[in-house]
Amino acid sequence: MSKTNTPFIGVFDSGLGGLTVLKAVHAALPGVALRYVADSGYAPYGGRGADYIIDRSLAVAGHLLSLGAQMLVVACNTATVHAVEALRARWPQMPIVAIEPGIKPAVAATTNGRVGVLATVATLASGRYQALLQSHAGEVLVFSQPCPGLVDQIETGQLERPELLALIERYCAPLREARVDTVLLGCTHYPFVQPAIQAALGPQVRLLNIEVAVAKQVKRLWDGAGLPSGSAEPDIALSTTGELAPLQRLGRLALGGDFPAQRASI
């Protein structure tokens, strides 16, 4: 992607999961240009330390800003809980919309007082996640299930692999045993395998994700800033620090079409 004079929203994730957020933002602002970076060459963030996550988030955000982004969307729970404060400190005038586990809506949704959270190890270990639990869980029992390796499997773009389905079963089994009635998908990658997660948990369990809420916040800030709504034709460009084929495959699945995709050196 090259620098452009067209106002655009920069969206990034540790990998391909943020495409689910990109889809929701495009639905909310269909005429606004979008530029997406998947940091797949340095993923997953979920098993990394905070310093690593902050460094990569600053690098990718700086890349998007150098191209002319008018707003940033951190489409990654792990990057949000570890790096969003550093991003806002570096660029205090830049509107930055972040995503984080929706503990509050999950607690509001449960009817039996038992909620499950599927997320990366780094997200669940973060102080921000613990603060959300302290603020919103109340009397509700929250069962936090780390999912090491799941992002790696989804990143291949091959969503029917037996190895992937086996991991989903492994991580959903404790939540079934805990008799949760609501499960929060605490990573933007997980909606790509939401049908498999639903099948593993059973039809009685309600699944929640927060991509639409993030998109509404993006639209509110974009419209409030008086930025142009763009053209009728979708202007979406994808890039990755990893391999192109998985980005193209999941980009097609998320967005319903083929959009320009290229490698990025960041």
**CB 99 within 8 Å of CB 22:** no
When pLDDT is averaged across residues 235-254 and rounded to a whole number, the result is 93
| First and final C-alpha spacing in the chain | 12
Q: Is 136 annotated as a binding residue?
A: no
> 226 or 264: whose pLDDT is higher?
264
CA dist 124 and 121 (Å) reads 5
The mean predicted confidence, pLDDT, of the chain is 92
Residue 147 annotated to the active site: no
Task: Tell me if 13 is assigned to a ligand binding site.
Answer: yes
Q: What is the pLDDT of residue 48?
A: 86
More confident residue, 233 or 221: 221
Q: Which of 9, 43, 60, 76 is catalytic?
A: 76
Q: Is 186 annotated as a binding residue?
A: no
**pLDDT tens for each residue of 108-155:** 999 999 999 999 998 898 888 999 999 999 999 999 999 999 999 998
> Is 120 one of the annotated binding-site residues?
no
On the question of pLDDT at 232 being above 80, the answer is no
3-class SS letters over the chain: CCCCCCCEEEEEECCCCCHHHHHHHHHHCCCCEEEEEECHHHCCCCCCCHHHHHHHHHHHHHHHHHCCEEEEEECCHHHHHHHHHHHHHHCCCCCEEECCCCHHHHHHHCCCCEEEEEECHHHHHCHHHHHHHHHHCCCCEEEEEECCCHHHHHHCCCCCCHHHHHHHHHHHHHHHHCCCCEEEECCCCHHHHHHHHHHHHCCCCEEECCHHHHHHHHHHHHHHCCCCCCCCCCCEEEEECCCHHHHHHHHHHHHCCCCCEEECCC
5 annotated as a binding-site residue: no
Out of 187, 201, 218, 254, the active site residue is 187
Active site residue 76: yes
For 7, 10, 30, 64, 208, the CA distances from 35, given in Å and listed in that order, are 10, 5, 13, 8, 26
Confidence of residue 243 (pLDDT cuts 50, 70, 90): very high
Task: Give the pLDDT score at 233.
Answer: 64
| C-alpha of 192 from chain center | 11
- Domains of the chain with CATH codes: 8-99+211-263 (3.40.50.1860), 103-208 (3.40.50.1860)
Q: How many CA atoms within 13 Å lie on the side-chain side of 247?
A: 26
132-56-54 Cα angle (round to 5): 40
pLDDT at 3: 64
Answer yes or no: is pLDDT of 231 > 70. no
Q: Which pLDDT belongs to residue 136?
A: 95
Percent of the chain with pLDDT over 70: 96
Strand partners, 184: 117, 208
Question: In this model, does residue 1 exceed pLDDT 70?
Answer: no
pLDDT: which is higher, 210 or 195: 195
Q: Each residue of 24-66: pLDDT tens digit? A: 999 999 999 999 999 999 988 877 899 999 999 999 999 999 9
- CA 229 to each of CA 19, 40, 145, 218: distance values in angstroms, whole numbers, following the listed order: 21, 30, 40, 12
